[in-house]
A and B are shown apart, each in its own frame.
Chain A
Amino acid sequence: EVQLLESGGGLVQPGGSLRLSCAASGFTFSNYHMSWVRQAPGKGLEWVSAINGAGVTTYYADSVKGRFTISRDNSKNTLNLQLDSLRAEDTAVYYCAKRAFPNGGHFDTWGQGTLVTVSS
């Protein structure tokens, strides 16, 4: 069974940092693009960042470019998101999501999410 399990969320002050992780199982992790998608309280879904299977190519939403860094460790089947210079508007549940095909496609599997709260 394909599973994604996020961790690392919590309360952080504005300007602070946090590192999220997503443990993947049940599929050949290194073959697939992975993404982070977030959802602010009471709001819709916003794609944040993506990385290809080899970990060489990354993509970011303009809202997080220069502040967030996506990475992956294929030896540990783990996806990471480093969140720096956090702002109140970054408060959200962060989901990791697997693309359906090695070169992209829709999101066929989602984690349960981890909550990041940015507040003083």
Chain B
Amino acid sequence: EIVMTQSPATVSVSPGERATLTCRASQSVYSNLAWYQQKPGQAPRLLISGASTRATGIPARFSGSASGTEFTLTISSLQSEDSAVYYCQQYNKWPLTFGGGTKVEIK
């Protein structure tokens, strides 16, 4: 099983500042990596697929990048509505696996 490790568990950022979330895979998943945003009481929402492709309707302040088995989600200028838990997920190999999540708090 491919283990996805997200860090930090919680990040607190002031509005307008940058938030950087990291996800590390225990083995190569190539670019088969997605990021999801989940707000309380809601279903997850796709942000990024293919490690760096924004989903339809996702603001440009969200970007994804990859370096080997390390993936990064960057929120360039944090807005209040970005307060949520963010999950990475690999879909390269069965079983599909998610990271434990990073909670983004607004300072």
Contacts and interface: CB of A to CB of B under 8 A. Distances in A.
Chain B binds chain A:
yes
Contact of A45 (B44, B45, B55): B44
Contacts of A62: 95
A108 interface: yes
B98 A107 contact: no
Interface string B91-103: 1001111111100
Contacts, number: 53
A59 B97 CA distance: 13
Interface in B69-107: 87, 89, 91, 94-101
A106 B43 contact: no
A50 B43 contact: no
Interface residues of B, number: 22
Contact of B87 (A45, A50, A61): A45
A46 B100 CA distance: 9
Interface of B: 32, 34, 36, 38, 43-46, 49-50, 55, 87, 89, 91, 94-101
